[in-house]
Structure 1
């Protein structure tokens, strides 16, 4: 259903996600520096390619050291489990793997530009050696580090062999025209021997063969950075999946943060309600009681003055009632409970200082809590439009996309809105994040401003 307040206007709306060029790690936004040389030609000379090649080269000695430590300590620990010494040795082995994991995260951060958060720390109820041993052995993070130590060694060996061979053969063949003279001068043969047996030999010694050799080397050289990049992609997955925080731990941290946001938001709402009651309706009711007391005293002496005072008190009662209605609407509007988002958002749009078109396309109602958050999100966004946007009109669209409730508010104002500026949009984004929602602001300077919110349906 679409409802338009005021004159309104028409806007095209939708999503636009753009990606720029590859910056060597991820994607570069539009407006970034564009290279005239194709990526396949400049890859062998880019810093990223050399960093990744260095990561593969370092991977083998690191893998050997880590594997030897793990296997040796694990064998000692398991072999001595029949005694008391085996359990502490296993704990020390796991602690060593965690230490190597910190070094591996630093290596990935420096060479692969891969940011991996530190895993959750050990949880010990009380300090001491034996509680530490128990915490290390019970930690899933410790065992994931041990698994990384076991599988990283064979993978690092494979990556090292592949990368070094492709890199060495590629550059050697590409530069063959520069050093093929070594063979006739020092080896007594025409060039690099391609084939040879007791009867005949094939040497790369004429201009055509030398040129073909260099072209093959060029293909190897151009392909090597992408092969190494594919190899390090596996390393990225292993480091991120085994050396970083687990999904469960990350989710616990996220829920703890969201709980804090919800508690702070509820406390702020209670303070706002208390302030509105104290400064608004309560103050008016106190003044009303005083005015009625004075009118009662004046009733016998001067009925006309008393009547005028009662009339003024009647006006104050109306104002106090209106303030109480506004306060109740700010807590949870009755129209939202009774008639849903369509009617409630239409009521909000009618109070906006600019014409607003509202379109709600919902076959059914979401959960009451989600509905309330959606209502207050649109209310706050329309307040921003009224106070700050200097817009001539706005649009509100609400629809369902699978298991998500989608909201979009568009205005033709000055733009420049930013959640990072510490404005009300930042608080709104935190509130939505507390219920697994998302707030996306697209507001270039000069407008238009498009704010999109996603909420879980939970119907």
Structure 2
């Protein structure tokens, strides 16, 4: 879908204000409260659980893959290898759920297996040909050494940090039960160093405090690698995601084209066609009266002449709605100026383009501005508006601003929602900033393609 934004003020949508309020509710800085936050403990739990899960995954993946590869010379190798990949896909589902629950990472399900026919043979072929299956196998292999490393680092830092921080509370254990003055820092045959006096105990606790404060951030950095691996290896591939987006966009384009055809058919049937039918009937009656009542026939011909003019104007309006001739002949500047002249409020148009884009992009830009100006005329209650068109790098930018009442939203079923879908079909973006009370600022971004 298109990237759609709704910035509202006074409606609870101010994310920046929410973040500021959230920070103000905490008296301690983030660095001091990190060891006690639930997020830090969830990340630690994720790292600690990663080792046993990784051991099982690695053992299964290596054993089954090696067995399947070794048996490829027989007919048993293919089903064993397919079972290995299928099992890795199952572990991948577990890992996505674990990352979602403990790290807050939501990874979409990868593309399902696609088989042209039913049966175990077709299923095995689909598993072996699926790139997703092999990416899950790769995850099961590379996750193991990383899990060993992150488990060792996280457990050591957390253990030593809290142990040193709380040393003043339990150092008495050594002289009472171990027969030594305190925690031994160094010792050989000639002398030993123990942490036993108040200064050394205080320094030990201070070092423990530093470890305790730093450990959550180190663990967070370790889980960042896990996030990247889960998203990169266990989610849908970028190519498949892009294919799905293109399929969605293609459906949107088809639906939009069908809706436009229905609109054109309806306008022709209810407008010009109806007038032409009535015109034919009037001319037939005038022909019958031509000899008996020439004056009445002349009046009917005069009325028919007016109907012809009206029908021609409706046909011109319909043709302009399909693709205006001024856009083809003179480009966006002249076409948008013509649209602005028909708006209910004064509109200032400023088009600054180094060249003309391709007709498809030019047409979408024209109809985008046209629909936005129609919204201003019907709903905004504005006194003035402006249209700006310019080029930034490889993007065509449009911005329509009015001083109306605001409150416009991109929601399902609205004109702006349909406009956003049309822009998305060509990799465009629609941004709506319309606080209640105005002003409304709508920005559209389209890919730039030279003619």
Q: Which of the five TM-score ranges fits, normalised by the shorter chain?
A: over 0.9
- The answer for the alignment partner of 2:437 in structure 1 is 446
Deviates more, 1:404-413 or 1:326-335: 404-413
Residue of 75, 83, 91 corresponding to 2:74 = 83
- The answer for the alignment partner of 1:30 in structure 2 is 17
Residue of 392, 405, 416 corresponding to 2:407 = 416
Q: Aligned equivalents of 1:437 and 1:377: distance in 2?
A: 11
- The answer for the alignment partner of 2:11 in structure 1 is none
Deviation, 1:275, is 0.2
Matches within 5 A, 1:209-358: 209-358=200-349
Q: Aligned equivalents of 2:285 and 2:274: distance in 1?
A: 17
- The answer for the alignment partner of 1:115 in structure 2 is 106
- The answer for the alignment partner of 2:59 in structure 1 is 68
Retained in 1: the 8 A contact 2:6–2:433?
no
- The answer for the alignment partner of 1:177 in structure 2 is 168
Deviates more, 1:193-202 or 1:380-389: 193-202
- The answer for the alignment partner of 2:192 in structure 1 is 201
Q: Aligned equivalents of 2:16 and 2:149: distance in 1?
A: 35
Count of paired positions: 436
Q: Alignment RMSD, CA only?
A: 1.6
Gaps of 5+ in 1: 1-15, 19-26
- The answer for the alignment partner of 1:138 in structure 2 is 129
TM-superposition CA deviations, 1:409-442 (whole Å, max 9, x none): 1111111111124311111111111111111111
Cα distance change of structure 1 residues 445 and 421 upon mapping to structure 2, 3 Å threshold: farther
Q: Aligned equivalents of 1:28 and 1:182: distance in 2?
A: 51
Gaps of 5+ in 2: 8-13
Deviation, 1:305, is 2.4
Residue of 26, 32, 36 corresponding to 1:41 = 32
Q: Aligned equivalents of 1:108 and 1:455: distance in 2?
A: 36
- The answer for the alignment partner of 1:380 in structure 2 is 371
2:388 is aligned with 1:397:
yes
TM-superposition CA deviations, 1:228-287 (whole Å, max 9, x none): 111111011101110001111111111111110010000000000000000000011111
Residue of 10, 29, 52 corresponding to 2:43 = 52
Deviation, 1:306, is 2.2
Please, what TM-score do these two structures have when normalized by structure 1? 0.92
Deviates more, 1:428-437 or 1:266-275: 428-437
Deviates more, 1:252-261 or 1:289-298: 289-298
Partner SS for 2:175? helix
Q: Aligned equivalents of 1:378 and 1:37: distance in 2?
A: 50
- The answer for the alignment partner of 2:144 in structure 1 is 153
Deviates more, 1:217-226 or 1:60-69: 217-226
Partner SS for 2:17? coil
Partner SS for 2:431? strand
Partner SS for 1:458? coil
Deviates more, 1:184-193 or 1:255-264: 184-193
Residue of 80, 84, 89 corresponding to 1:98 = 89
Q: Aligned equivalents of 1:442 and 1:172: distance in 2?
A: 53
- The answer for the alignment partner of 2:356 in structure 1 is 365
TM-superposition CA deviations, 1:340-375 (whole Å, max 9, x none): 001001111111111111111101001110000110
Q: Aligned equivalents of 2:347 and 2:166: distance in 1?
A: 69
Q: Aligned equivalents of 2:107 and 2:212: distance in 1?
A: 31
